[in-house]
Structure 1
Amino acid sequence: MAFKSAVLSGITMERLNALCAVVEAGTIVIAAGPDPNRQSLFSRHIKDLEKAFGTTLFDRTGKTLKLNENGRRVVLATHTFFGSLDDVMNSAVAAAETVILGANEAILRWLILPNLGELMASEPPLRFEVRSLPSEAALREIQTGRIDLAVIRTEVMAEDLESEPIAPIQHVFAIPRTLLRTKEGAEVFEGRPMPFAELGSDPFFAKSARATAKALGLNILPIIQVESFSLLMSAVESGTAAAFIPTIAARSLPEQRFAQVSAEAMKEMDRSLSLVWYAKSADSRPSIRRALTRLKRALA
């Protein structure tokens, strides 16, 4: 099969690599470093690629570059191409092939990492690089090929991705027993103010938590706002505040020190999750297909 792009003089591996570096760094200056000559070289590489493809790859506002849809498709194809070559090289020397997985911090900590041994144990070996990303950011990263797989909230799914639903994340209200007079979790429904830890980095979750607390008749008193689920857990573990936390995280809390409350109204906080990927990337890279098989089995 003859590929038109293979005979275009303006398309080289060096230029494609420079394009990916600029997208990864965000600007030509950061990607090329402080050397003005290298910055000019990177700028020429991008212009040469645009000339070869016959279209712009970025929308330009002053010196700001924003990857457009054509650019996104070129970067995705380039990542897939280079990733496939890396897989071949690693396979030739029996080295573990690398798959990049993105998900939010809670999913990585309590869903992915506990299964890491199973994910890496099978032959041929795989090496996972995990990146902590909110669902929206993970979606953008997979659309440009900067990550290979992602676990995201189902509602932010894009139509051009393949997906597999996985078990939803459920939540409980976890309370240090030192904050309870009777040490029983049902006490939280009596209306007494309850010191409460909020997740500030996720407006969707914070809004859902407040609405659920109101529906349950909980008199929450926010005393601390944190930026991750790990810190939310730390606030609870310190005995300082109660919080809504994932059920899978709450399993590590000793019953003698913490009460856990579940209620029907908390189902509104459930998060449907999907494992997502690009079909073409999986078709061209056996390492991604193997990672998908292992993840589906581990997260079932």
Structure 2
Amino acid sequence: MSGNTLSLSGLSIERLRSFCQIVDAGSVVAAAGRNPTKQSQFSRQIRDLERVLGVKLFVREGKRLKLTADGVKLSALTNAYFNALREISGEGQGAPHPLKLGAAESVIRWLLVPRFTEVVSAAGGPVEMQNHRTSEVVSHLENGQLDLGIIRADARSDALELLPFPVLRYVLMVPRAALPEKSAAGILSVRVLPFVSITGDGQFVRGVERIVEANRLPLKILSKVESFSLAIEVAKVIGAATLVPSHAEGEFPTEQFTPVALDGMDTLNRRLAVAFSKKTTELNARAKRFAVRLSRAFEGGLREPS
């Protein structure tokens, strides 16, 4: 063996498995379950890996550990390696391991769950769905924690391959009691419109603010919540308006709420994409097949809510 060839003597399966556990947990303490003995063992294993590879795998951010660029590469390859082993084992036992799909809560609840039989068919086996923000889905795809993701098409990463997925649209749901003659046509005559908003300052929130300003809506924000599911429930309880994905319209009783069209609503539309890692395609061929089939299953667009 050439003297320039990397020695793999320190890359034991156990050390790589511990590395993946720490990546998943976000810290040595969390991965070890606050067991001091395991904490020492995990810390030593990471130091050994870094020594053998000659690179830094983590940097500390507060109480959490963040992967370095080299750490992301190792995580992606290691997760793909373990997934490939599980695939071989699963095929031998006739029980494929679940593929991990990450997406925003709204995408999972209103787009994927209603067509879950098609999702499972596309996967060719069990699917584990995880709720994450788009930025987290991208990160988890890059480091191999997820096999597949549904993300905003503009959230690009050189490490990911994107396939088409339909556009997600939004609707303003307004309590009829707040509208003149209880009709959507009276929206511009409303003096005060109680409203439930989504927290944060992301693209969606900024887009809503622009629409409100353009239409001169006299909003009175009564509550801010973290998810569309909470926005719907709070809006129904307190009788307030809220902006939600159009496929959530059916969550509102028609005798109490009505959808209202506003100028500029189409600016909120989000083109989505099915994403998977380019780096691990050869080791994770099943994930790529899942991505292609899922994209094709939805190529006719999203079914309008009944």
TM-score of the superposed pair, with normalisation by structure 2: 0.89
| Per-residue deviation, residues 1-60 of structure 1 (Å, max 9, x unmatched) | xxx989610111100001111111222122123333322221221111112212221235
The ranges of structure 1 where at least 4 consecutive aligned residues each deviate by more than 4 angstroms after the TM superposition are 4-7, 60-64
Partner residue, 2:36: 36
**What is the identity, as a one-letter code, of the residue corresponding to 1:82?**
F
**Does the Cα contact within 8 Å between 1:103 and 1:133 map onto a contact in 2?**
yes
CA 1:5–1:259: 2 relative to 1, 3 Å: farther
Partner residue, 2:302: none
CA 1:63–1:280: 2 relative to 1, 3 Å: closer
Judge which range, 5-14 or 124-133, deviates more. Answer: 5-14
What is the rounded CA distance, in whole Å, between the counterparts of 2:46 and 2:78 in structure 1? 14
**Does the Cα contact within 8 Å between 2:163 and 2:292 map onto a contact in 1?**
no
What is the rounded CA distance, in whole Å, between the counterparts of 1:268 and 1:5 in structure 2? 54
Q: What SS does structure 1 have at the residue aligned with 2:146? A: coil
Gaps of at least 5 residues in structure 1 are: none
| 2:187 aligned with 1:188 | yes
CA 1:44–1:205: 2 relative to 1, 3 Å: same
| 2:268 aligned with 1:278 | no
Gaps of at least 5 residues in structure 2 are: 300-306
Q: Shift in Å at residue 67 of structure 1?
A: 1.6
| Per-residue deviation, residues 200-244 of structure 1 (Å, max 9, x unmatched) | 156432222121111122211111111111111223333610111
What is the rounded CA distance, in whole Å, between the counterparts of 1:7 and 1:51 in structure 2? 11
Judge which range, 5-14 or 146-155, deviates more. Answer: 5-14
What is the rounded CA distance, in whole Å, between the counterparts of 2:6 and 2:90 in structure 1? 24
| Identical-pair percentage | 31
| 2:116 aligned with 1:133 | no
CA 1:101–1:215: 2 relative to 1, 3 Å: same
**Does the Cα contact within 8 Å between 2:104 and 2:133 map onto a contact in 1?**
yes
What is the rounded CA distance, in whole Å, between the counterparts of 1:159 and 1:35 in structure 2? 38
What is the rounded CA distance, in whole Å, between the counterparts of 1:261 and 1:61 in structure 2? 44
Partner residue, 1:86: 86
What are the equivalent positions in structure 2 for 1:1-300 lying under 5 Å apart?
Answer: 8-59=8-59, 65-121=65-121, 125-201=124-200, 203-238=202-237, 240-300=239-299
| Per-residue deviation, residues 114-170 of structure 1 (Å, max 9, x unmatched) | 111112246x84111111111111111111111111111222211221001321211
**What is the identity, as a one-letter code, of the residue corresponding to 1:198?**
S
Alignment coverage as a number of residue pairs: 296
What is the rounded CA distance, in whole Å, between the counterparts of 1:247 and 1:274 in structure 2? 18
- Give the root-mean-square deviation of aligned CA atoms: 2.3
CA 1:210–1:79: 2 relative to 1, 3 Å: same
What is the rounded CA distance, in whole Å, between the counterparts of 1:100 and 1:272 in structure 2? 22
**Does the Cα contact within 8 Å between 2:57 and 2:67 map onto a contact in 1?**
yes
**Does the Cα contact within 8 Å between 1:201 and 1:228 map onto a contact in 2?**
no
What is the rounded CA distance, in whole Å, between the counterparts of 1:26 and 1:216 in structure 2? 44
What is the rounded CA distance, in whole Å, between the counterparts of 1:69 and 1:153 in structure 2? 23
**What is the identity, as a one-letter code, of the residue corresponding to 1:85?**
L
Q: What SS does structure 1 have at the residue aligned with 2:95? A: coil
Judge which range, 124-133 or 46-55, deviates more. Answer: 124-133
**What is the identity, as a one-letter code, of the residue corresponding to 1:222?**
I
**Does the Cα contact within 8 Å between 1:10 and 1:49 map onto a contact in 2?**
yes
What is the rounded CA distance, in whole Å, between the counterparts of 1:73 and 1:187 in structure 2? 56
**Does the Cα contact within 8 Å between 2:228 and 2:244 map onto a contact in 1?**
yes
**What is the identity, as a one-letter code, of the residue corresponding to 2:76?**
L
CA 1:64–1:192: 2 relative to 1, 3 Å: closer
**Does the Cα contact within 8 Å between 2:103 and 2:130 map onto a contact in 1?**
yes
What is the rounded CA distance, in whole Å, between the counterparts of 2:30 and 2:204 in structure 1? 34
**Does the Cα contact within 8 Å between 1:208 and 1:269 map onto a contact in 2?**
yes
CA 1:168–1:202: 2 relative to 1, 3 Å: farther
Partner residue, 2:303: none
Judge which range, 135-144 or 63-72, deviates more. Answer: 63-72
